[in-house]
Structure 1
Amino acid sequence: MRIIFKFFSQPIIICSLIIYFFSILTGAILSKEVDFSFYNGDFSFSPLHYFQHNLVSCIILISGIAVFSLSTLWSLFLNGVMLGATFVGVAIEKSIQEAIASIFFHGIFEIPAIILSGAIGLYPIYLIYLLLRNKKEIDYKNQIKSIGIMLALIVVFLIIASIMEAKVSPLVINYFFK
């Protein structure tokens, strides 16, 4: 358990989490300006559809590793804003319970995958931080190992999230709110 906590308490992951959290809050605040009457609780897609959709989002987040984290910062922010705005919009349009139910079951896996993808995309900034802070050689082998672990976790989380979003969330929404 301590190894898991140590891994997830890496500064790069915490930084990604903070950016994502504040962008969710921004989206929640901005949600009053968006019309959510289109929301119908439709979860009629296959797990493969959700997996592909979320994988593309994660790849976009990770791609920031090639462009000095700029696309990661933007994508992480937009993803959080959309989540915050959608959550509040559904809560206003339907109910807070339905908003929680429509996100919770797959979100507990999808959100960590997004945060880990953001952490990978923020690596260029993190490496500069390490160089300036330590003023010594960076253990690149350890950094690559961390990225590999994060990539594996992202795939596992996305597989679980896609199954939950396609199979569990619709059952919960239909059972309690239809």
Structure 2
Amino acid sequence: MIKAFNNLFNVIKRNKTEIYLSAVIFLGTMLLGFLISKLNSSIYNNKLSNTYIQGFNTITIIENNLRAALYLIIGNITLGLSTIIILVFNGFSDGIMLGIHSKNLAIDTILVKTIFHGIFELPAIIFCGGIGLKTLSICIRTLRGKQSEIKTQIKDSLILFLLSFVLILIAGVIEGSIVPMLL
């Protein structure tokens, strides 16, 4: 078990550039969306902020998050360009929603709606974003004259995806089954 965690840590360490870039893009645009929503009061909608997403259940939440994860990964085809666009869009829209909720809901309600599943979902999305930036990273390394072992890159991507898949499942169960009971 300890060896598996060490291997996982090494995979994350080998891919830290892509993971950090994914995190900076996503969290940076999330902060930007949050700040814009706080500055622009016309963006607030009490009805939207006071309801939990209707029609979503554990399965649809997991499907939605897996779809987003796959779109991020498929960004390899565009050398990461579509991955960057998806990270920007999702980060910005999540930031706006967080800003809307912070205007109209108590902090404890916001924490219940976000933190319990977010601690699993955010790393999964960031890891998948890192996978989607893999071809861009390989191209940049190649242009700099550095070799990238493709077999290791593919293996690392598969491990990160499997980790993300498990995190998305956990987050989906929490968001779809546990969070609604707490609200």
TM-score (norm 1): 0.88
In 1, Cα distance between the equivalents of 2:88 and 2:146? 32
Please tell me the root mean square deviation across aligned C-alpha atoms, in Å: 1.7
Among residues 31, 56, 68, which one is paired with 1:25 in the alignment? 31
Tell me how many residue pairs correspond in the alignment: 172
Are 1:87 and 1:100, in contact at CA under 8 Å, matched by a contact in 2?
no
2:18 matched residue in structure 1: 12
In 2, Cα distance between the equivalents of 1:8 and 1:23? 23
Gaps of 5+ in 1: none
Instruction: Return the offset for 1:86.
Output: 1.0
Instruction: Return the offset for 1:76.
Output: 0.2
Percent identity, aligned pairs only, is 30
Q: What is the DSSP-based 3-state SS (H/G/I as helix, E as strand, rest coil) of the residue aligned with 1:137? A: coil
In 1, Cα distance between the equivalents of 2:115 and 2:122? 10
TM-score (norm 2): 0.86
Are 1:12 and 1:126, in contact at CA under 8 Å, matched by a contact in 2?
yes
Q: 2:88 matched to 1:70?
A: no
The 5 A counterparts of 1:19-168 are 19-32=25-38, 33=40, 34-37=43-46, 38-42=48-52, 45-133=56-144, 135-168=145-178
Instruction: Return the offset for 1:92.
Output: 0.7
In 1, Cα distance between the equivalents of 2:26 and 2:179? 23
Gaps of 5+ in 2: none
